[in-house]
Every structure is written in C-alpha cells, then in structure tokens.
C-alpha cells in the first residue's frame, strides 16, 4: 500500500492500515508520513527499500528485516513524488530529465503556459507558493535547489517476484521477458506487458518500468524516453465523445414546469444546479436586482423553488436511518415539524444541507439543495443497503411530482390571505408543516425561509402549479411585491449568513467550520462521518471557518475568490460570496478564513489581481441576527 495513502487514511478517516507496519521509503516526506501513522497508534518498522523481503503468498504476516523475522500486517511503500506532467505534455510542453529529482520535469514551454509548483518539481509548500506567485506576476522565477531523491528502481535479475505494476500484476520478470523478446521501445513494452494501462494509467508504475528497461538496455533513463501522454488526463466515458448522449445531451438541462409563466413575466435565464431557472425578471439586471431584493425585505417576494429536493424516506426504521445519515438528530422531531440538517461524507466533509420534515410517525421528506438531489438520493440509497434492513426503509425521489412556490417577506401573510387558505396553514409557526386541500388539489405548506423573512413554501402536484402561480403572483403584486430570481435570492441569503454548499464550502469543510458544532458532542448515536470528526485534522488549529467580511465605508464589494493573506503573504482563506447591492447599507461578503470564528473584529488584508485591500472579520449574519423577522 502507498505510504502517503495510509497516512492520509489514518489522519483523515481514523482508519489504520494495521497496528504493526513495515515501511520501505527513503525520501524527505517519509518521516512526516511515519509520524502521522505512529501518532495514530501504529508501530512502524523501517525496511530496506531496495531489497524488501516479504515472504509468503497470502496476507502479509511479517517481513525479514534486521537479520530476523519481524511481525507486520502491511508493507507501505513510497518511492517519492514525481511531477504530474500529463496536461503539460498535452499542451505541447517538453520534458527534461532531472537526475537529482530522479524524475522528468517540464522543459520547453508552450507559448503562454508555465508549469509551477509540484508540476515543476518544486515539492515544498513555501517554495511552490513563491514560484507560483512569481509566475503569476510575470516576475523572474526564484531558483530553488531540487530536493535530492534516491529512487529504489527495480534491478534486473533480482530474485523472487517483484511487482512493477501492482494494478496489472506486471513483475520485473515480465519486463525482462519483453526485453529478451526484442521489445526495446517503451511503447512496445507497454503493449506487450500492459504496464501502465490500468486505472491509474501508469502513475504508480511507469517510472519503475522505464528505469528497469533502461537498466536492461544499459542506457540512461532519458534515452529510453517516455510513453506518449494522450488525453484525457482522467478517465472520461467513451459515450461522452461519440455516444448518442454527447455534447448538450450528456448533461441535459432540466426545465421548470412553470417555464411559460416565467417567460411571460420577462424572466432572464441561467443554469443553476443543472436546472434552467429565472436569474432575474427584466431586461436590465442593474434595475431589477435592487427591486427584487427590496420586494423581499419590504413587501412580498414570489420564488419558484420547485427544483428543491423532495426525497421521501419511509418505513419503520426511517427515523433511526435518518439519525445515521444526518449530522443532526432527526428521530426527536415531532410530526408536523421541520429541522435543518447537514449530511456528511465518511470523511466528515459537508456534502449538503437542507431541511427534514416529519410528515408522519414513519414518514419524512428530505429537502436538499436543488443541484444535489441525485447525489443525496444515491447517498441515502447506498446507506439504506449497507448496515440497514432495506425491507424497513424505503426511499422515493418525489422532486418532480411537486411544484414548490415560496412567498416571503413582511407582507407575505397578507398576500396569502387573498388565497383563502386555511387557518392551519396561515398560523403555522416557523419550521412548521401542514397538509391540506386547496382548489381541489393537495397542498403542502412549510414555514421555512432562505431569505431571512417570514416565509411559506407551498407545494402542489406539478400539473396544478400554473393556477397557484397565477393566484400568488396577483396576491403578491397587490402587496407591492413581485417575483424574484436566483440572483436576488443569493443576496438575501448571504445577508443572513446562509451558506450555499459547494460555494461557501470546499472539499475540506466540516460542520464545525460552519459553526454547527453541537452534534459532535451532544449526539450519542453513530452517524456517517462521526469518526472523522475526531481526528487530528478535524480538530487542528488553522481550519478555514465561515466568516463575514466587512469592507471600509464607501469601499466596493470584494471580488469572489480574493485571498485573505497573512503577514508572510500566504493565503489564510478566501472570499466565497460577495455582493454590492444589499439592504444593509454596505457590501456583504462571506469567506472561509483560518481560525475565523475566533477572529471576529480583526482587520485582515485581502489580495486579488495584484491589489491589496482591507476587510474586517465578522459573524456571517449581517441582517436580523436575532431572527425576529423569520416568525413575524
């Protein structure tokens, strides 16, 4: 197994490859990886990387080292890093052999393209950042001495079975046989042995195979050359290139059942989460956006939320199952009530957020992000079949069955009065749910809001959506309101500090980074990702946490993607969302900043495109932090 991979599993997932480990690695990064393993409770034995002795044909029981038998349940190996030059070669870049690094590194550069950091053979973080900064600013590249490597390349004639490509079971004897059969070209070697043709496309095997062929031919490695780097650099289904579902049909955009009504209202369109949705309503965004925002804050706003997930989870074990797949506890939810939840990966990373409604003792509706419905359904289905009784839990995606229209704002209740809805619907408390019949059709009402205002989400069968839209549009207009699109909604939610998963989070964001830490200590039942939240990585200082950023009075909005930098000009976070037209009298921005939750009030430097600016870290919520308007 890979040494660095085993270290990542131990640190990120709390999973050890074994308690007794043998390590064959001789490079500067091995020591840090071994420290991570020992810190996780493993005992590590170093063995000779050039002549490891692992007897037997079954599972690893031990190794021969230091003159005798030593117990070990796994052998971890690492020959050190090598630059990922696939895209560089696709662009027409040349390669040079670096004897010190024992690797091919980018050489002749195509016009307008530069290789930086680890791709250029610069593996230390500080040096890679210095190199990237100089390249980005068009400055002279700093000269960094390469880190010497002693690669334990396979040698001809070695006794025993020694694998060169673990994925395709290519051994040194296979390469030697190819040489004896007259295959000298690395391209012929590749095809004769299938070396480098497995899932990793040679990333772990090609260099070892090239080095062995060079030794057999008694030539330096660069004279043997490399195989041709052909696109794609990562696997792509053949159907994406020439299948019937290629191009626009590969990921066809989904359409709203109310698209004709939105077009009649002069909607301007954009793709959001795979759906074609109204971005705003008018030919002029600059005029429409403040009007739509003001409608939600001062009157009433009508929004088509039909793409929001509506995944029903039913059965005798539904409550316990949702306790397991959700970070928050769901089983204590009373029927007719709603709870905000997060879902995590096994690594403890936030994969989505949403609300769960209990509509009966054994029946729930998971309302997830519109762009994550398929992923959440697959996530639920995978866990339903793993460790749970699938005959006691049933999952059904009803997203397309229901059209959902949201009315929010201080005059939302007055607008709904015009529809003659039942008192049960109108008097719902915040995070309450009820079901009734309206205009001879079933209607579900949820008191939830993504704008920060009092809001009702009304769901009806999709074929009854048009009459409800027309009625709501008239009622909202009567209160001085109007329909709003995704762009206005994005501003409104940012003012409240509500996150969009995938925009205000990244592939390392855990729930406590968003300020949702209580379930980590209060929840007793096991849940997906729980062990990963107890690792050193999860509890380390310097984690990037959600914050608000306030610019000086009169300053423009911060650019999305701008970096918060520390005193050494290193990135300490970045801006995830930023808006200039708001209702709080200043631009609003959210970001992920190292240790941000304990740095509120601190002034930081923000760097973007060669310009430095100042901003003050603050809590994410800039509008109605007490939440008084949600249940007005």
Tens digits of residue pLDDT in 358-389: 999 999 999 999 999 999 999 999 999 998 99
Q: pLDDT per residue over 517-546, tens digit each?
A: 999 889 999 999 999 999 999 999 999 999
What residues are paired with 400 via a beta bridge? none
Least confident of 24-28, 349-353, 487-491: 24-28
Identify the pLDDT of residue 235: 76
- If you average pLDDT over residues 33-61, what whole number do you get? 84
Predicted pLDDT at 50: 64
Average pLDDT over residues 258-266: 97
- What are the DSSP E strand ranges found in 517-610? 544-550, 563-565, 571-579, 588-594, 603-608
State what percent of residues in the chain have pLDDT above 90.
75
Pairing of strands 311-314, 267-272: unpaired
Mean of pLDDT values over 25-37: 89
On the question of pLDDT at 552 being above 70, the answer is: yes
Closest-CA residue to 233 (of 209, 204, 205, 202): 202
Q: Compute CA 457 distance to the chain's CA centroid, rounded to the nearest angstrom.
A: 28
Alpha carbon separation from 304 to 5, 489, 631 (Å, rounded): 45, 11, 21
198-234: burial string, b at 16+ Cβ within 10 Å, e else: beebbebbbbbbbbbbbbbeeeebeebbbbebeeeee
Residue 180, Cβ neighbours under 10 Å: how many? 9
Which range is least confidently modeled, 222-231, 314-323, 481-490?
A: 222-231
The pLDDT score that the predictor gives to residue 225 is: 85
Note the pLDDT of residue 137: 87
pLDDT band at 246, cuts 50/70/90? low
CB burial class (10 A; 0-12, 13-18, 19+) of residue 54?
middle
Which CATH class name applies to 311-397?
Answer: alpha beta
Greatest Cα pair distance in the chain:
90
Half-sphere exposure (Cβ direction) of 228: Cα atoms closer than 13 Å: 7
Q: What is the pLDDT of residue 152?
A: 82
At residue 52 the predicted structure's pLDDT band, cuts being 50, 70 and 90, is low
Mean pLDDT of 549-563: 97
Which residues have a Cβ under 8 Å from the Cβ of 359 and sit 6 or more positions away? Answer: 335, 336, 365, 433, 435, 444
Pairing relation of β-strands 103-106 and 95-98? antiparallel
Topology adopted by domain 541-632:
Elongation Factor Tu (Ef-tu); domain 3 (2.40.30)
Quick one: pLDDT at residue 151?
Answer: 81
Indicate if the pLDDT at residue 243 is higher than 80.
no
**pLDDT confidence of residue 51:** 62
> How would residue 69 be classed by pLDDT, with cut points 50, 70 and 90?
confident
pLDDT score for 58:
83
Q: What is the mean pLDDT of residues 408-431?
A: 95
Q: What percent of the chain has pLDDT over 70?
A: 98
Residue 632 pLDDT: 63
Q: State pLDDT tens for residues 585-594.
A: 999 999 999 9
Q: Write phi, then psi, for 591 (nearest 5 degrees).
A: -160, 165
pLDDT digits (tens, 9 = 90+) for 439-451: 899 999 999 999 9
Q: Residue 144 has what pLDDT?
A: 86
Alpha helices (runs of H) in 526-628, residue ranges in sequence order: 536-539
pLDDT, tens digit (0-9, with 9 covering 90-100), for 275-305: 999 999 999 999 999 999 999 999 999 999 9
Which homologous superfamily does the CATH classification assign to the domain defined by 261-307+402-492?
Probable tRNA modification gtpase trme; domain 1 (3.30.1360.120)
* Distant-in-sequence, close-in-space partners of 247: CB < 8 Å, separation ≥ 6: none
**Dihedral of the CA atoms 377, 380, 385, 386 (nearest 10)?**
140
Average pLDDT, the chain: 93
């Amino acid at each position: 197994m890979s040494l660095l991979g085993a270290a990542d599993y131990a640190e990120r997932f709390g999973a050890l490859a074994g308690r007794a480990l043998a390590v064959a690695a001789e490079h500067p990064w091995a020591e840090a990886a071994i420290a991570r393993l020992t810190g996780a409770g493993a005992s590590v034995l170093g063995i000779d990387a050039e002549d490891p002795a692992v007897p037997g044909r079954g599972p690893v029981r031990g190794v021969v080292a230091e003159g005798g038998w030593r117990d070990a349940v796994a052998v971890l190996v690492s020959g050190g890093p090598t630059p990922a030059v696939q895209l560089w070669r696709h662009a027409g870049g040349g390669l040079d052999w670096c004897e010190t690094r024992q690797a091919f590194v980018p050489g002749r550069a195509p016009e307008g393209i530069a290789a930086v950091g680890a791709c250029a053979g610069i593996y230390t973080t500080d040096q890679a950042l210095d190199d990237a900064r100089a390249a980005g600013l068009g400055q002279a590249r700093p000269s960094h001495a390469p880190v010497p490597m002693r690669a334990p390349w396979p040698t001809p004639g070695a006794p025993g079975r020694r694998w060169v490509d673990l994925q395709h079971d290519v051994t040194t004897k296979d390469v030697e046989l190819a040489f004896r059969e007259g295959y000298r070209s690395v391209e012929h070697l590749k095809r004769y042995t299938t070396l480098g043709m497995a899932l990793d496309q040679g990333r772990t095997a090609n260099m070892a195979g090239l080095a062995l062929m060079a030794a057999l031919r008694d030539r330096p490695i660069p004279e043997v050359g490399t195989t041709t780097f052909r696109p794609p650099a990562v696997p792509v289904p053949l159907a994406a290139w020439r299948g019937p579902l290629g191009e626009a049909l590969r990921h066809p955009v989904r359409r709203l059942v109310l698209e004709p009504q939105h077009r009649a209202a002069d909607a301007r369109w954009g793709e959001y989460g795979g759906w074609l949705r109204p971005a705003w309503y008018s030919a002029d965004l600059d005029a429409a956006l403040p009007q739509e925002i003001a409608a939600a804050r001062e009157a009433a706003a009508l929004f088509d939320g039909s793409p929001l997930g509506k995944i029903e989870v039913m059965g005798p074990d539904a409550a316990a199952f949702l306790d397991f797949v959700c970070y928050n506890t769901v089983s204590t939810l009373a029927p007719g009530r709603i709870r905000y939840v997060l879902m995590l990966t096994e690594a403890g990373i936030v994969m989505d957020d949403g609300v769960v409604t209990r509509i009966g003792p054994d029946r729930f509706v998971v309302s997830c992000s519109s762009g994550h419905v398929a992923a959440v359904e697959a996530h639920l289905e995978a866990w339903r079949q793993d460790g749970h009784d699938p005959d006691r839990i049933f999952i059904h995606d009803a997203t397309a069955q229901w059209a959902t229209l949201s009315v929010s704002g201080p005059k939302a209740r007055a607008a709904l009065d015009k529809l003659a809805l039942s008192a049960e619907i109108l008097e719902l408390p915040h995070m309450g749910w009820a079901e009734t019949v309206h205009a001879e059709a079933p209607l579900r009402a949820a008191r939830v809001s993504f704008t920060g205002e009092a809001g009702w989400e009304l769901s009806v069968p999709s074929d009854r959506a048009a009459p409800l839209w027309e009625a709501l549009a008239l009622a909202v207009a009567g209160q001085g309101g109007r329909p709003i699109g995704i762009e206005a909604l994005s501003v409104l939610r940012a003012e409240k500090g509500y996150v969009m998963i995938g925009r205000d989070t990244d592939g390392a964001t855990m729930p406590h980074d968003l300020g949702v830490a209580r379930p980590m200590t209060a929840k007793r039942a096991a849940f997906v990702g729980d062990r990963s939240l107890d690792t050193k990585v999860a509890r380390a200082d310097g984690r990037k946490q959600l914050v608000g950023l306030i610019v000086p009075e009169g300053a423009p909005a911060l650019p999305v993607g701008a970096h918060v930098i520390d005193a050494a000009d290193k990135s300490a976070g970045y801006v995830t969302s930023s808006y200039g037209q708001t209702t709080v009298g200043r631009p609003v921005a959210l970001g992920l900043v190292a240790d941000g939750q304990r740095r509120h009030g601190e002034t930081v430097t923000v760097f973007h495109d060669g310009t430095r600016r100042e901003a003050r870290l603050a809590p994410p919520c800039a509008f109605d932090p007490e939440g008084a308007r949600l249940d007005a």
